[in-house]
Chains A and B, each alone.
Chain A
Amino acid sequence: MASLSTTSLSFKAPSTRISQVLRKGSSFQSVAFGRFASSTSKTSLRLQISCAAKAETVQKVSDIVKEQLALTADTPLTAESKFTALGADSLDTVEIVMALEEKFNISVEESDAQNITTIQEAADLIEDLVQKKPAA
Chain B
Amino acid sequence: MAAPFTLRKIGVPPNSANLTEARRRVFDFFRAACRSIPTIMDIYNLQDVVAPSQLRFAISAQIRNNAHITDPKVIDLLLFKGMEELTDIVDHAKQRHHIIGQYVVGEGLVQNTGNKDQGRTDFLKNFYTSNYF
Binding site for B on A (CB under 8 A): 67-68, 90-92, 94-95, 98-99, 101-102, 105-107, 110, 133
**Prevailing SS type, chain B contact patch:** helix
A90 to chain B: which residues have CB within 8 Å? 23, 27
The reply to whether the CB of B31 lies closer than 8 angstroms to some CB of chain A is yes
Chain A residues with CB under 8 Å of B52's CB are 102
Q: How many residues of B contact A (CB 8 A)?
A: 21
Q: Which residue in chain A gives the minimum CB-CB distance to B61? A: A91
Query: B110 within 8 Å of A by Cβ?
Result: no
Contacts of A68 in B (CB 8 A): 53
Tell me which residues across on chain A come within 8 A of B94, comparing CB atoms. none
CA distance A106 to B1 in the complex (A): 7
CB distance B2 to A106 under 8 Å?
Answer: yes
B47 within 8 A of A: no
A95 pairs with B2, CB closer than 8 A: no
Given A90-B27, A99-B53: A105 in contact with B60 (beta carbons within 8 A) = no
Q: Which residues of B contact A (CB under 8 A)?
A: 1-3, 23, 26-28, 30-31, 34-35, 37-38, 52-53, 56-57, 60, 63-64, 67
Contacts of B63 in A (CB 8 A): 91
- In the complex, the answer to whether B53 meets A107 with C-beta atoms within 8 Å is no
Given contacts A91-B67, A95-B57, A95-B60, 4 further A-B contacts (CB under 8 A): A91-B30, A94-B31, A105-B2, A107-B3
Closest residue of chain A to B67 (Cβ to Cβ) is A91
Task: Indicate if the CB atoms of B27 and A94 lie closer than 8 Å.
Answer: yes
Question: Using Cβ atoms and an 8 Å threshold, which residues of chain A touch B23?
Answer: 90
Question: Contacts of A107 on B, CB cut-off 8 Å?
Answer: 2-3
- For residue B115, give the distance in angstroms from its CB to the closest CB of chain A: 15
Q: Which of chain B's residues has its CB closest to A96's CB?
A: B56
